[in-house]
Structure 1
Amino acid sequence: MKTLILSAAMILTLAFNAAAVEPVTEKAEKTFNQLFKDADNVKWTNTGNTYEAFFTSDGIKSRATIDAKGNLIQTIRYYGESNLPSNVLYAIKKEYKGKEVFGVTEVANKNGVNYRIVLKDDKSYTHINANSIGDTELVAKYKRGDK
């Protein structure tokens, strides 16, 4: 009986939360469609006064944050080494010899474009930050637990 009541409560909660999601404002959707014409698998979430679109564009997983007035606030893209700008990749390869790029998170907002990069080698994962001109800083280094 407890399981039945708990299950019913859970279903009602999910139904109310799904119904409470506001649609994307016309201005936010217009901005998104202008900027990301080739976006696939678009999913929207409402985070207060902003809307986040999760999508894929040219095979790159991306996220765009747009306010209700249609202003683009930030974009985040997730990709590998091949999509890094050449000057950033050069700086990384020069400073972190023997390590390969495991993954990149690119964050673009009013402060510019910054990269959060995970490098790996046989012994460790290295997390670094880089800016658009190739300056890097070490954030953390972890011993690999999968070896």
Structure 2
Amino acid sequence: MKNLILSAAVILSLTFNAAAAIAKPVNDKAQKTFDLLFKDADNVKWSESNSNYEAFFDSEGIKTRVTIDAKGNLLQTIRYYGESNLPANVLYNVKNDYKGKEVFGVTEVTNKNGVNYRIVLKDDKHYTHINANNSGDTELVSKHKRGDK
């Protein structure tokens, strides 16, 4: 009798876990917007937060996070990449304004305010955080001594 109860509990547990794994993490409108805009997305993982849906994925080697609301409106796109994906005018101004520094990483944020770039630069002694806009204008945010040197 114990074995029968234990077996039934295991089967029910597996059934509930399988049903939870099949549950759709995103509504149809958000999925339709995503499929329309991000055809080349790989390794897509969805999460829900404050009645919005976030998709995390790779596209052509760039890690990307998008936020889509329940109505299917694209709210924000965040992309993480290196120097080679920066627009030429932005890269030119960064290299010109911060000579001798290497681009360590870029976070590109696109939303209703436009496109902005949060860029981390490094040299032998410091990490420098700057912001840049689509026109290439830059501003210093912070500068930190490198802890790995």
Instruction: Give your verdict on TM over 0.5.
Output: yes
TM-score normalised by L of structure 2: 0.85
- CA distances 1:74-102 after superposition (whole Å, capped 9, x unpaired): 00000000000000000000000000000
**Are 1:28 and 2:44 counterparts?**
no
Q: Tell me the residue number matched to 1:100.
A: 102
Q: Is the Cα contact below 8 Å between 1:65 and 1:75 reproduced in 2?
A: yes
Q: Which runs of 5 or more structure 1 residues have no equivalent in the other structure?
A: 1-14
1:49 Cα shift? 1.1
Structure 1 moving runs of 4+ over 3 Å = none
Q: Tell me the residue number matched to 2:41.
A: 39
Instruction: State the identity %.
Output: 76
2:67 is paired with a residue of what secondary structure?
strand
1:37 Cα shift? 0.2
- Which of these residues, 74, 79, 91, is aligned with residue 76 of structure 2? 74
1:23 Cα shift? 2.3
1:98 is paired with a residue of what secondary structure?
coil
1:27 Cα shift? 0.4
Q: Tell me the residue number matched to 1:86.
A: 88
1:22 Cα shift? 6.2
Q: Tell me the residue number matched to 2:135.
A: 133
Q: Which runs of 5 or more structure 2 residues have no equivalent in the other structure?
A: 1-15
Q: Which has the larger radius of gyration?
A: 2
Q: Tell me the residue number matched to 1:119.
A: 121
The change in CA–CA distance for 1:131 and 1:62 in structure 2 (over 3 A counts) is same
TM-score normalised by L of structure 1: 0.86
- CA distances 1:79-129 after superposition (whole Å, capped 9, x unpaired): 000000000000000000000000000000000000000000001000000
Q: Is the Cα contact below 8 Å between 1:22 and 1:46 reproduced in 2?
A: no
Aligned length: 133
